[in-house]
């Protein structure tokens, strides 16, 4: 857990929890993990290999036979923030 505290007043400004068991809609999260995965599947292709919640957005990794995708989905709006894809160019 990270906390930002005002040095003058001692008031807690922000709390950031990194807990896999925390509820999907905790805090400012309006989008569930399942909704984020559905959004990512519309953007990329393949099987979801990893899903992380980081700083208010979901980081989803997907793979198919030839391509790896990394897709960030905003946890409040459900919109894709960033998409990266890496082609497997190996000719074995």
At 27 the pLDDT is 56
CATH class of segment(s) 25-92:
alpha beta
Among 14, 36, 39, 40, which residue's Cα sits nearest to residue 27? 14
Q: Does 20 or 42 have the greater pLDDT score?
A: 42
Listed residue (68, 73, 62) closest to 85, CA to CA: 68
Residue 20 pLDDT more than 60?
no
Q: What average pLDDT does this structure show over 40-62?
A: 91
**Whether the predicted pLDDT of 74 surpasses 50:** yes
Q: Is residue 25's pLDDT more than 50?
A: no
């Amino acid at each position: 857990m990270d906390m930002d505290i005002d040095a003058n007043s001692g008031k807690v400004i922000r709390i950031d929890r990194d807990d896999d068991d925390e509820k999907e809609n905790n805090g400012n999260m309006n989008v569930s993990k399942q909704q984020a995965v559905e959004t990512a599947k519309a953007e990329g292709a393949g099987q979801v290999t990893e899903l992380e919640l980081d700083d208010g957005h979901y980081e989803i990794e997907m793979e198919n036979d030839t391509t790896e995708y990394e897709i960030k989905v905003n946890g409040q709006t459900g919109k894709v923030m960033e998409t990266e894809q890496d082609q497997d160019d190996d000719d074995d």
